[in-house]
């Protein structure tokens, strides 16, 4: 966790994935923490630092969290849909058409859940 605190982007990513999936959590943490995962994913996206994971995938992870909710995050289908659309736009700009289509489809699914 100290490497993540000092700004190591890859360590931040690994910590975010741990909080997201529940695998490899810090010793003092027994449950996933979606709020911590989203905070760290947002930091990575805002910093724009390359960690070997495409930016659109970091947005997808956040969208998944908002679409399911729980572990410190309220379900928010609108935020999920917007994040999927942003991921699709980035994938399109990187000439990743199949991935972009997948994200647009997931955005449609999320929009359908908006009450």
Smallest Cα–Cα separation from 85: which of 73, 102, 69? 102
Domain ranges of the chain: 2-113
The pTM (predicted TM-score) of the whole model is 0.90
* Rounded distance between C-alpha atoms, residue 38 and residue 64, angstroms: 10
Q: Output the CA angle 65-12-85, nearest 5 degrees.
A: 40
In this structure, are residues 56 and 103 in contact, taking their beta carbons and an 8 Å threshold? yes
CATH for the stretch 2-113: 1.25.40
41-87 residue pLDDT tens: 999 999 987 789 999 999 999 999 999 999 889 999 999 999 999 99
Residue 1, pLDDT > 60, answer: no
3-state secondary structure of 4: helix
12-40 residue pLDDT tens: 999 999 999 999 887 888 889 999 999 99
In this structure, are residues 56 and 69 in contact, taking their beta carbons and an 8 Å threshold? no
């Amino acid at each position: 966790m100290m490497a993540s605190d000092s700004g190591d982007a890859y360590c931040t990513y690994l910590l975010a994935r741990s909080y997201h999936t529940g695998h490899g959590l810090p010793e003092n943490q027994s449950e996933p923490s979606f709020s911590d995962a989203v905070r760290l994913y947002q930091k990575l996206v805002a910093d724009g630092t390359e960690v070997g994971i495409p930016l659109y995938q970091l947005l997808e992870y956040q969208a998944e969290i908002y679409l399911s909710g729980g572990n410190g995050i309220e379900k928010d289908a609108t935020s999920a849909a917007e994040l999927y659309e942003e991921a699709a736009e980035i994938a399109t700009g990187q000439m990743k058409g199949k991935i972009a289509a997948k994200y647009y489809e997931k955005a449609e699914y999320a929009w359908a859940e908006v009450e």
